[in-house]
Amino acid sequence: MKIVEVHSAAQRKEFLLFPVRLYEQDVQWIRPLDKDIEAVFDPERNRAFRNGKCIRWLLLDEKGTTIGRVAAFVDHKHANKGNDQPTGGMGFYECIDDEKAAFMLFDQCKQWLQQQGMEAMDGPVNFGNRDRWWGLQVDGFDRQPNYLCNHHKRYYQRQFEAYGFQVYFYQLTFGRLIKPPLIGRIQEKARLVEADPDYHFLFLPRSRWKELPELIRSIYNRAWANRGEIPELTSVQAAHMVKQMKPIMDEKLLWFGFYKNDPIAFFLSLPEVNQIFKHVRGRMDLIGKLIFLWHSWRKTNRKAFGVLFGIVPEHQGKGVDGGIIENFRKLVQENYLRYEEYELNWIGDFNTKMIRVCEQIDSSVVKKHATYRKLFNEQAIFRRYPIK
């Protein structure tokens, strides 16, 4: 076996096509869009290159056939933030069921990261935002992956843990059907906040979408950016996020909470477009675009998923979560009957408040991903991401 760095157009194509062969018999796997994978490794499209670098490899057997792939990356802006040691990342891992092959790929990442001054690596993660390609799937293999989310082979968990990776945190995906009623605590919270006229909740109509970047940035930074490794969202990043989401946004899924006209909460969801992209087989060429438009027009996608949910600290514990969820529920259960299924993506197991909200809306864990960390110094003390 030998490892080769990806340089040529043929190697880049093979990096995309190897998983197609590997998952050929997996009926749940949905091929990611080629353009989304390639964007990660393009300095013109990935802002992470401003503060870091990445590299990717193919693993070939004795006959020159690809049997694995992986990427490694370092972001110097965040390598030390919230970590006991400088930490890089590895991801886009795919490999046959062979421990020796797996360890060759892991060793390649480790050696390259050590050359960059790193003392640990997280994986499998993304070179960029956490909301995509993050974590190793360890449960929920009977369900299809959401857009920009990982779907893996069951044996990958064994390979990672045999190498010495340890769970840094879990990411939970909660799911439920739209139609069943909400009962219990959420209604109590909703009644509590409805008694205060200074609170109001609304979905943001298309005519106001120009306000989206600043609304998201303001609430995100107040609600999330005080969490260790999570950096503040800049105006440029917020605008870029909205630009990426805009082609698929549904105004009825973009909910905000206000207190005396101050934005204090968001509950943002999107149509789950992997339910459409699964028909284009990775290619958004002319035929792929026509297929996408046809399914969009027919509204064949009946699934929505949560993107962001947050409440600024000073308004937590006051029933705001119940208020915004109840307003959303009334719309999608009584008037806007567009969706049948809902999933809440990327709920860190350290986020106990959000887990309680998910449980209160009668949802359950349907998929589970693990973010692993490997310390290069075997004698160093491993510390899991703290539970909040």
- DSSP annotation of 385 reads P
For residues 125 and 114, what is the distance between their CA atoms, to the nearest angstrom?
Answer: 17
Give me the pLDDT at residue 226, please: 59
Cα first-last separation, the chain: 44
Mean pLDDT of 367-375: 98
Tell whether domain 179-339 is in CATH 3.90.1150.10: no
Q: Do 35 and 44 meet the contact criterion of CB atoms below 8 Å apart?
A: no
Closest CA to 322 of 192, 181, 136, 169: 192
Helix axes 185-194, 320-330, angle to 10 degrees: 100
- DSSP annotation of 386 reads P
* pLDDT tens digits, one per residue of 282-325: 888 888 888 888 877 778 889 999 888 889 999 998 999 999 99
Cα distances from 162 to residues 98, 123, 133, 289, in angstroms, run 12, 14, 22, 42
Cβ-based neighbour number of residue 232 at 10 Å: 12
* pLDDT tens digits, one per residue of 225-265: 655 556 788 899 899 889 988 888 999 999 999 999 999 99
Q: What class does CATH assign to 2-168+371-375? A: alpha beta
Tokens of 53: 């670098």
Q: Do 121 and 374 meet the contact criterion of CB atoms below 8 Å apart?
A: yes
Mean pLDDT in the chain?
93
Cβ-based neighbour number of residue 101 at 10 Å: 18
Q: In three state form, how does the secondary structure of 267-301 look?
A: EEEEECCHHHHCCCCCCCCHHHHHHHHHHHHHCCC
For residues 175 and 101, what is the distance between their CA atoms, to the nearest angstrom?
Answer: 35
pTM (2 d.p.): 0.88
Residue extent(s) of CATH 3.40.630.30 domains in the chain = 2-168+371-375, 179-339
